[in-house]
Structure 1
């Protein structure tokens, strides 16, 4: 037996091999696997965040004229008639084709082609107003706001302003087009919602 250790065998046992091509290949493979895993993990997350935030970044489109009814369907007796506003509606991600989005009172005077449009939404709290037959006026069932058939307030009234008028026009085919807008309720000035 030898008392002195063999230097060659001790050196082989304690020393690590110099990094060679095998060690570098294993590092590159691990780095590529890590990058692929990160892409596979973050891609659905990024797509989800994009989808969630996309409708919030879109600007609401400006109000457009919506075809409501033909001019011949509105009697020229000066009494307002209620007509639905039907249009495609987009609620963030979901589209609703040809859905009622509001209502409008249309009226015209004797023989006149001019049409007056009043929103059927009460400017006080946003309830739908109806025509009260006995008193020939508009009445809001929520808080008893009253308006003349031309849309003016009847005092006393909790409503801060008259009924909201809407722009309307008649196209060459005799269709009545109304520029549908929702307005803020409870304030004295008519401010359109975005």
Structure 2
């Protein structure tokens, strides 16, 4: 985000600063602008189960405001959902673009994006607010695609507006522990016992 537009967005971003500090990976109102360089995304740290990234994308002159950041899912954990807690946009019909890729650098430039280099992507609007958009991203046409949660590893995110607009985002990256094989077996056994008792 350009410096001047960042100042214009600062007061808007503060509105969404109510998430607990322990849940915040990044808030542009306090932490500064996210990177616009796809080869050098802002490095974020997973905080726990809920991990919020709060930012604003502004395009007032046909100059897209791209945001790139990366994070690591540790062994034994998985990215189980991406909740679009807030998506406010002016004008209200604007759609935001968000993509996810493997690795700590985004693998394709914005000037000539290759969907095949991405795990997935989606266009989101105000009607998607409050929903898990990870399944939507998994269905991005021409992307690699995926099923279910994403496992341990490095991931990078690209987000931006798609027209002359101001978009305010609050993304919650939900990270959960992968159930141990023994725990899954116990769950299955419990289900069998329950069915037998009912029978």
Asked if these proteins are the same fold (TM beyond 0.5), I'd say: no
Query: Could you say which TM-score interval applies, normalised by the shorter chain?
Result: under 0.3
Q: TM-score, normalised by structure 1?
A: 0.26
Larger radius of gyration: 1
Q: TM-score, normalised by structure 2?
A: 0.25
